[in-house]
Amino acid sequence: MEKTPLNTAKGTDKTINKVQHRPGDLPGQKPSPAEQNRRPILEIKKLNKTFETFKAVDDVDLTLYEGEIFALLGSSGCGKSTLLRMLAGFEKPSSGSILLDGKEIIGVPPYKRPVNMMFQSYALFPYMTVKQNIAFGLKQDKIPKAELEERVEKMLKLVHMENYVDRKPYQLSGGQKQRVALARSLAKEPRVLLLDEPMGALDKKLREQMRLELVDIINAVGVTCLMVTHDQEEAMTMADRIAIMDRGEFIQIGGPREIYENPNCRFCAEFIGSVNIFDCTLLSSNKQHSLIKANDFNNNIELEHDIDLADGMPLTIAIRPEKIYISKEDPQQDTNICEGVVENIAYLGDISIYYVRLLSGRLISATLPNVDRFKQGLPTWDDKVYLSWDPESCIALTI
Amino acid sequence: MSMGFSANMSFIRRAFRKSKPKVISVSTHQNTWRDYALILVPYLWMILFFLLPFLIIFKISLSVTQIAIPPYSPIVTFEEGAMQIILHLENYTNIFTDPEGTYWRSYLKSIEVAFFSTFFCLIIGYPLAWALATSKPAIRNVVFMLIIMPSWTSFVVRIYAWMTIMKKDGLINDLLIHFGIIDSPITMLQTDFAVYVGIVYCYLPYMVLPLFSALMKVDYSLIEAAYDLGCKPVKTFFTTLVPQTKSGIVAGSMLVFIPALGEYVIPELLGGKGSILIGRVLWQEFFNNRDWPLASAVAITMLLILTIPIIWFYKIERKEQEGAYGK
């Protein structure tokens, strides 16, 4: 049995979570660029940014590899935008270094950095046509006219805007504006593309469609991409790796699946997706077996691996709602089970969320696909139900 | 007592409820005469105080001077039952054929002074407006007060103040001599320099305010976008800020250029005897030579000169509205 990597304490060790991917281990997980021995392109070392007394970015280390899409995920005010703006050159770091292709770029003005940004509001020049907007960056480099025309043409084709060359931005829809903004930021073939809340200005439907389109375009160009978002779905669909940021620090860095399945702390578990958190005490732990007492129900939680903690110590167990089985019949097991009463059911179309009140008074959520729910015999309001789960569904967290 | 009061109140409330739909129907259908009445007020004002005087001046410009009251010949005369209309155009031809070239020279000089004054106002006003637009609201209000406050005192008083500042034993010369920068006082009064100082000082607020309001509406992310795409600072200014504040630049320039062109008081008090601006020519013709027809022709010509930038201004305005942001 493998050992679930338990978190190294966040406060004591700032170089958080050395990602250890096992290719093929997690189905659906793309091998990370780090594994493919790709060259690091951007290295951020001990980067700090302090606004007066407020630490916006706190001692951040990050390495970006050639060709990957990396997402900085966090709620507003966590410092992700400040970090992005430091890379673009709009903010000056308080200390630390940013190496692009091994060369220090702090102090290099934004107009000399081989980095381009797609702005949240797109920042298209309103008095220029689509074509002029895309050509703007190339014109600054004094590229010969023939080559410029050719490259602009290529960009227009890439984002499927060939039929809109002479339109002004106000004549475009939100999605079209975004494509132009993307083309403009890609036209100069930047070493790193920065995306600031790329879907922030789009409505929900268009957002979902543009995510994949954007990834396709970025992959077609092969540019390394650093995006900032507060939308976890967006980060998970688009990015190869995600860094969860809080109060200027990276809490966890990893692939979408790893971050969801193996959050390294309570904050990450609660931040990504929804989760039931139980305060527990470790009863015993050996190589293949850990027994845990939860405060909210009588039966114990059993894990099939050890936990690096002394017996009797408190810990947290997190269980995702979709990994909880819900049934009216007693599944006849001694561990990983609790009982309660269905208090509420939320119908979301594809799934239903059951809110089950435990005897202790705790409310637990468990989801059920609606394919199953409307079969006969499944629990409904006020039914007494048993909630159970597999040992591997539990995430043991020490902080 | 209280019963009666509440009864009254409910009556009022009922009256309100009843009258409401009526008001709506009136406002949507029957009040076109109100629109006309409303728009008539400014029109009446313009007709009475602009168009009418303009026509009178125009009429005078087509007559010849004579020693009488009023000091010009009538255009329409009746002699032996015949109505005669005599339109003299020589006032206009005189302006351009005057052997000494006094008139067209003073026009050119006025345009030159107005142009450079506008230019200096723009150069000084833009950074000022920028500082205002980007400063914190608390500081902004204070600076605003400082810009507007001088106009609470009389214009002429402020020009006199500049005379005492710039005269031979005035503040500037005293200071410069005191610190040993110069040995003998510089002549500043009665020079073009003094005229520029006066005009720029007086008209700066008219430049700053429209620039400020244009800068408040600027999308600052465009500046960052230009930087990001490799545009250097100076070029970024001209490719992002200038196009976005074009209407403010044009409006401010018009507000300075137009009054500066016909400016009389400032050149008269601060300027030299040598530089004759069109305002002074007008004054001399009207009051010294009492040649009202010629003075009127000079005034009408100046107005025609002014219509060129005004038409240009409206063209830009219209383009702006149709162009970048849609209608």
Kindly state whether residues A237 and A375 are assigned to the same domain: no
Within 8 A of B239 by CB-CB distance, chain A residues are: 125
Q: Nearest chain B Cα to A111, which residue?
A: B230
- Domain-terminating residue out of A236, A269, A302: A269
DSSP percent split of chain A into helix, strand, coil, nearest 5: 25, 30, 40
pLDDT over 60 at B5, yes or no = no
- Domain-terminating residue out of A225, A253, A269: A269
* Higher pLDDT among residues A398 and B200, named by residue: B200
- Domain-terminating residue out of A269, A291, A309: A269
Kindly state whether residues A285 and A242 are assigned to the same domain: no
Kindly state whether residues A265 and A283 are assigned to the same domain: no
ipTM given for this complex = 0.82
Helix (H, G, I), strand (E, B) or coil at A30: coil
Domain ranges of chain B: 98-290
> What pLDDT is stored for residue B79 in this prediction?
85
Helix (H, G, I), strand (E, B) or coil at A398: coil
> What pLDDT is stored for residue B28 in this prediction?
53
Kindly state whether residues A228 and A81 are assigned to the same domain: yes
Mean pLDDT of A309-313: 86
> What pLDDT is stored for residue B193 in this prediction?
92
Q: Which domain CATH number covers A107? A: 3.40.50.300
Domain-embedded: residue A102: yes
Give the C-alpha separation, A153 to A142, whole Å: 17
Q: Nearest chain B Cα to A194, which residue?
A: B228
Domain-embedded: residue A391: yes
Nearest to B222 among A89, A123, A185 (CB): A123
Query: Poorest-confidence range of B14-28, B174-188, B311-325?
Result: B14-28
Closest CA to B224 of A66, A61, A119: A119
Tell me the residues of B at the A interface, defined by beta carbons under 8 Å apart: 219, 221-222, 224-233, 235-236, 239-240, 243-244, 323-326
Length of chain A: 399
Q: What is the pLDDT of residues B236-288, one digit of tens each?
A: 999 999 999 998 999 999 999 999 998 988 998 998 887 788 998 999 899 99
Mean pLDDT of A297-324: 89
Domain-embedded: residue A316: yes
Kindly state whether residues A239 and A370 are assigned to the same domain: no
Domain-embedded: residue A357: yes
Kindly state whether residues A215 and A256 are assigned to the same domain: yes
Kindly state whether residues A97 and A206 are assigned to the same domain: yes
Within 8 A of B228 by CB-CB distance, chain A residues are: 88-89, 110-111, 115-117, 185
Domain that holds residue A71: 40-114+190-269
Domain-embedded: residue A1: no
Tell the residue number behind the tokens 């002029």, with chain if given: A132
Q: What is the pLDDT of residues A5-27, one digit of tens each?
A: 444 333 333 333 333 333 444 44
Kindly state whether residues A295 and A262 are assigned to the same domain: no
Within 8 A of A185 by CB-CB distance, chain B residues are: 228-229
Cβ atoms B226, A88 nearer than 8 A: no
Question: What is the tally of structural domains in chain A?
Answer: 2
Angle, alpha carbons B291-B295-B301 (nearest 5°): 150
pLDDT over 60 at B194, yes or no = yes
**Looking at domain B98-290, does it have CATH number 3.30.530.20?**
no
Q: What is the pLDDT of residues A48-84, one digit of tens each?
A: 999 988 999 999 999 999 999 999 999 998 999 999 9
Kindly state whether residues A198 and A319 are assigned to the same domain: no
> What pLDDT is stored for residue B324 in this prediction?
52
Distance from CA of B253 to the nearest CA of A (A): 22
Kindly state whether residues A222 and A110 are assigned to the same domain: yes
Domain-embedded: residue A349: yes
Kindly state whether residues A297 and A207 are assigned to the same domain: no
DSSP for residue B65: B
Nearest to A170 among B227, B230, B325 (CB): B325
